[in-house]
Amino acid sequence: MKLSARNVLRGKVKAVNPGVVNTEVIIEVAGGAEIVSIITKTSADALGLAAGKAVYAVIKATNVMVAVD
């Protein structure tokens, strides 16, 4: 797999929460951190996502916002 994205994190699906149109996918990466992604239900089904499946979280963003109280 070759991608232009610079941030590719290997992990395992912790949970898949399907909705009517979109599906929430929780991915556990190294150190126990979790990344939550919302993808279409069609994409989740096509990828065969299920708890325990090895996946990659691919993050491509031109901006990262930082906030403090």
pTM, entire model:
0.85
62: Cβ contacts below 8 Å, ≥ 6 apart: none
Residue 69 lies in a domain: no
Looking at the 3D structure of the chain, how many domains does it have? Answer: 1
Tell whether 65 is covered by a domain.
Answer: no
67 occurs within a structural domain: no
- 42-61 pLDDT, tens digit each: 999 999 999 999 999 998 87
Domain-located, residue 30:
yes
Q: Is residue 29 part of a domain?
A: yes
In this structure, the dihedral spanned by the alpha carbons of residues 65, 60, 4 and 46, taken in order and rounded to 10 degrees, is: 180
Please write the tens of the pLDDT for every residue from 1-55: 788 878 899 999 999 999 999 999 999 999 999 999 999 999 999 999 999 999 9
Residue 2 domain flag: no
Q: Which domain holds residue 25?
A: 7-59
